[in-house]
Structure 1
Amino acid sequence: MSDEANIPATTPPLGWRLRALAPYLTGGALFLLGLAALHHLLAPVDLHEVAAQIHATPWTVTGLALASTLAGYLCLAGYDWSALRYLGKSLPPSVVLSGGLMAYAFGNTLGLTPISGGAVRWRVYSGLGLDGYDIAAISTFTSVSFGVMTTLVGLGALALHPTALAAMVPLDPATIRAGALLSVAAIVAPLLWAAWGERRLTLRRLTLRAPRLSVLAGQVPISLGDLTFSALTLYLLLPDGGPGFFTFVAVFAAATMAGVVSHVPGGIGVFEAIILAAMPAAMPPAQVAAALLLYRMIYYMVPFALALVTMALFEGWRLVGRPLPGSRVGRALALAEPGLRAVSPLAPLVLAAMTLGSGLWMSLSALLPPLTEAAETAETLFPLAFTRGSVLLSSTLGAVLIVLSAGLVRRSAGAFWLTLAVMAGGIVVALAPPGDPRQAATLALAILILLPFRRAFHRRAVLTHAVLTPGGLAMLAAAAAGFGFALFLAHESTPYANELWWQFAADSRAPRALRASLLAGLTLGLAALVMLLRTPRYRPLPPSVEDLAAAGRIALASDNPDAMLVLTGDKSVMFSRDRRAFVMFAPSGRSWLAYGGPVGPSDAAREVAHDFAETARNAGMAPVFYEIGPDDVALMLALGMTLHKLGEAAEVALQGFSLDGPGRKRLRASYAKALRDGFGLEILSPPHDPALIAALREVSDDWLAARNAREKGFSVGRFDPGWLDRWPVALARRNGRIMGFANLLSSDDGQVTTIDLMRHSHDAPPETMDFLFTALMLTLKDRGCRVFSLGMAPLSGLQPERSRRLWDRFGALIYRHGGSFYNFAGLRAFKEKFAPEWRPHYLAAPSRLPPLRPLADAARLIAGKPPGGG
């Protein structure tokens, strides 16, 4: 990758960029509005009172809240069990429980349940017989179930206690009750009607198959338990004098849905603002704030921490290569092994979240005044150099951890080791006067959690390159806003207007906080500036002879013959830093289109895939992977891509291929007729005689003229003497005349073979291609070849009735009725006669919308049109 190259000229227009930024801008605006509402509601709150209330919470109450949290998470895992019943699938309970618990423990805290939860489910369930449609259906079922039941419970509680939201809804109780009951009826009646006959509900573009009544009956207690136990956890922590439990459930449901709709991670700020606003005026805001803080720690942070510790223990045992111990812990880990193995690839994301949280805590703690008597006493006993210096260092180190968390997401080895060093420094600072042993212990635990995952951070990426995505900018902005909120909340009543920020004194805590916030802000700002200035600029260029030779060696060593299309020279090549893997791609329109997944050993392939996606985004382009197979699905999910099915590829297992049996009667007859008519197969190895190339050109030109077509590119080879001279060519001769031909691409060991160009003369008999493929497969079988690929049947295998996706409905419609411009069904039928195994192929794109634009960009490349334009 070159830093000196220029940004491509095909830069997307401003409107397209603004649309891409819209989700981040909306989420950021809602986050700021939540902070503003919190600042208004918490204006009379004293942090010392909040801290005292937290410390005064009885252990019995905390224990009951933890038990309620456990029950709530078991109900969450029940969503997957119910979804599997809905699909008619059955999996071991331990797998469902472990995978579900880990997905929700991470997804709830990160606020990315659709992403992290979906990625975990794919890795758990795809190896146990479930396909992409099943896993998408599970994710959709759980999301819809949660949304519907949360709405119903909230409306039901509001009907029982219509005054629950009186502070926020300016309507009389009778009107609220009537509206809630009508809304419940409007949701329940169609749902029961649809479930009775397993009908389908269509809401605009979304079609859902209603669950059976038995599935619906099993889902109701699960959803009720989820919301009830979650609300109970917070209700137990609230002070006396609050609303009744059912009244509170209505408030809790409204706050939960507002947090989900806002798309703010965890609903932070939005959820708290609604809870605080809905509580009776007689309840002390400080005690409600303390309950909300405890709720966040118990319901979110405790499961997250336990999941991290469990994952680290499991990874540690895998690292040392020892079998799981026979103790209770070992048996539990063994039962949970499928779920834990599935979560392991998500380690960089969740460990980055842990590091981000550690950095935020260190920086924010420097802005707050001492909240315990011991800390206040230490400040008066120790010299200012110790107390003020440790605060400033803690703030700076916390800001550094926030920056490093972005490097951990990118699996940077440098970020990993720097994070360990900064955390170790944080421990030293935390133990310095006035001392915070809890912070030191937490950082030590974080180091122990990080260590077993050393192998997950393998990328030798420059830390300042390709970090500031829109999400990264939003994260830094949210951190800065949070610092400001904490600063003004903590020192709103402190008279420091006449004090200088550089004034040092034992009782000058506001200037101390200002200094700490200034250092943290400068650290974040300088890091952001360096990242922006150091972003690599890359321009796709034609590959050099040396690059093609290196890519060819990597492709030959892989078991994917299609990777040899890198040698056509019409695609740019991006190598991993150690040049052991590559991505071949070409720019078109607003996309950088990679053909297939990364090629090479898995560790280097992951690295170059990340580099490709980041570099494309930095150039203002959309990274797209065209025609990837099932083996690359997990990597695409890790890159945050959405999968759109393109069709299915036909692969024939040659060891079981023959012309015997009633199922091969028509193929056998066609093959026998071709033999009687004088057909024969000849496979010629390169280099080829110029006379042969000239004869093949006549067949090729005849084939193109008959179809009024021209040579294509990108995903196929073109008739070029230099290209054909690289590969064996299979000839179908009839009485010596070449009637058809195909060039063969093979892996280095010859175990996997596929075809590239397939052409025949206009007067070739109908059985020509049948004969060519049949004779070729029989010959390759005798030579020891294991798999023969017939290529992809576009748009085949799409099942909109299962996926409910608009793209699948559109693609299936084209497949059935698009015969006037391409014989989709005929191509599938031709390949079906060889009884292949059909493997799904996908397009991976950043957007969840139907991939019409990337497909148009790909069509432009395949048609051989020049890249660029809109």
Structure 2
Amino acid sequence: MKKMLQWFKERISYFKIIFIFSVIIIILRELLTISKTISFNQLGIVFQDIPLWKIALMLLIGLVSVLPMLNYDVILNKILGQHPKKRFLFESSWMINTINNIAGFGGLISIGLRSEFYGKEKDGKRVVQALSKILLFLMSGLSIYSLISFLLVTLGHTNDYIQQYWVWLIGGSLYFPIVLLVSFFKKDNYIGDIDRKTRAGLILTSFMEWTGVLGSFLLIGMLMGVKMNPLQIIPLFIAASVIGIVSMIPGELGSFDLLMILGLSALGISREVVVAWILLYRLFYYIIPFLIGVIFFMNNLSYSLNKRYSGIPRELSTEVAHKFVVFLMYFSGIMIVLSATIPEAFIELTWLKQLNPLSFRIITQIPAILLGFLLLITGRGIAARVKRAYFPTIGLIVITLGYTFMKDFSWGVILFLSLLLLIIVFSKRQLFREQLVYSWEMITVDGVIFLTLTILYIVIGVYNLPAFPHHKHKFISFFLFPSEKIWLSGLIGILLVTLVSYLFIRYLEGKRYKIGMPLDDERALSLLLNYGGNTDSQLVFLGDKDMYIYQNSAQEDTVLIQFKTINNKCIVMGDPSGNKEDFSDAIEQFINEADRWGYLPVFYEVSEECVMFLHEFGYDFIKMGEEAHVDLPSFTLSGKKMKSERAVMNRFTKENYSFEVLSPPFSDELVSELKQVSDEWLGSRKEKGFSLGFFNEDYLARSQIAVAKNQSGKIIAFANIMPTYTKEEGTIDLMRYSKEAPSGVMDYLFISLFQHMQEEGLAYFNLGMAPLSNVGTSRKSFIQERIAYLVYEFGSRFYSFQGLRDYKEKYATAWVSRYTLYSRESFIAYVMIALLIIDNAPIEKQKNVHGIRRILRNRSQR
């Protein structure tokens, strides 16, 4: 015996799994059986004759009738000395009792489920003892009602047909006194040892449970308008229940239904009404509460799995549910519009009719088109996860449900819309964005759908014109409309829905909120001086970008992110500046805040370090090119390789050209001279900003300027030295020369800068980007990079990409890759367009651009 018990204990987990799967199989089998007993057409006819408020009241009655059973689990946990959370107790108890209603087996399944939910952390023997007490009193309420029913039969309140069941009523009524006596006199820990309070609670709970069962059946009948005498129906109902439980048939199916149909028919109630009555009782007391229990079960299961697997299952399921509901809303909207546009197609084409979940007629074209397009627009709000879309979407589906109930009842539509409504209600947490930023990607998707449906409708109108040649050759019969008047009403609906759609989009957009702040010179400079920067940091002082400041736990500014917004894209210029230890937290905070307000960050020309971090956030990336670095400590003009550069330096020295580094503040005369050189270099071209500095006195006054002068001391070329706020890296921004500058002046300026920074003790000089260099050269590269490679190969006729690479190759000792990262929610084409617009917009128009960097730091070399 001990070996058998030990063997059982070692395999208890397997037995639990078998039990759970057995319950699931029983439930599925009984649901299938119930579905066979329910005629959905019959229910549809019944619902059409019952006012909506009565149906809602029946639903409420069914839900309230389940509530008394929850007290079994309250008492069980008191016996076990447990204090579970109220929400867990409510959900698990509801689930257990509604499953037991369906599965039946005299309450045995509910005992097994209670053991699984509440007995995991308790001694097995103690759990069995507590459960045996619950099982003992489960049927005491039915026994009390059996005694009451027997008295009604004995006193002559029933007809002859019902009186034949007196034996069953006596048998049922004997159960309660026997159980009560046993619980008093039995001294063991399984049946006896029950204190008065617990005993009274179990008896009252069972009585209230059966009061709910009986009351829901009677009240549903009354709401149906059935003329009846409750004193005759109560004994019949109780006798049928006793027979059903004794038979151990799950849900008392078959035996209960048969006895009730025969008995109620004997009372003069028509069989059709009885069948409808039982169907409604099954629906509101069994099916709907059970479905709610399934939701609770899935919630508890997801919570357990989520806790076990670090939150991944919930994230996956909510994401899938969100995608699914968006698909359903778009699909439904398209199908409704098509059903109004080509209604005959849904009759002639069987596959199209089966594909349409909303296969019902909406009377006129205008309601159908309005409903379809509104589902598309609310679907956009749900797809964009905007909070404001929640209640309008629920309201729209509820209106559709009500319309279906009252005008064109269809079980398929009811179930479909109910499922859609349920998913949306439980997806509220997925709607976290404060506003809709209607992106180019959204406009493209919605525009294609809207335009396709609208053009199709107009084409059909043209097709139906009397002059159209189809009247001789009718090759598409379902394109024919009953009348021009009906088609015109639909066209009016499309025009109306255009206005409604615009207003709804404006509602979702709200008052546009932009993240970040305008340039704060003092705050930005203080952060850079305290924590350092990089070769892009100084660009923030151009004033053409916004800045985002991250503060650490001590509320100190530690990280600066500079960006510009265009459409829904926040184009971030280069790596963040500041304390590198806070970069990951700062980027994460920036992404989350942007996401909350409906923006998608794009990180332009960032380092590999940022790529690795941002890839964890689901960002895709494309290599933009390579940055040339010159190792300053090892730089020399000696050797065969630098022969031509030595010649340039010797020539400029021999001709008495000079190199000088000027420090601010600068005189008005110097600024005027620099402006003249800059204007000559620009010619008819316009200044550009964002990723490249432009001639601005305030901007130039923040750093040193390297100048090349001719024999007479006139400046013929200059470059502003960009502060990197580090002691390792040096670089320049603007590099411009006048018409008087001789050839080779750029080499002269560069080599002089290398020597100057070499003396300053800097580690390397950043020559800037070689765009698209070494991008997509492998057949295994991303398709985006392969396309970029084609641009590199064949674009030289417009811009000398290869020439720029070759020029910098003379000096470069190392090449560092730079990347652009973008969210997977963005279309790469639109990302590149946004970069092109921002990086190439003339500076005077930059203020009008909502939303990228140097295609080339040394664009001035052209």
TM range (shorter): 0.3 to 0.5
Question: Greater RCO between the two (CA within 8 Å, min separation 6)?
Answer: 1
Query: Which one has a bigger Cα radius of gyration?
Result: 2
| TM-score, structure 2 normalization | 0.43
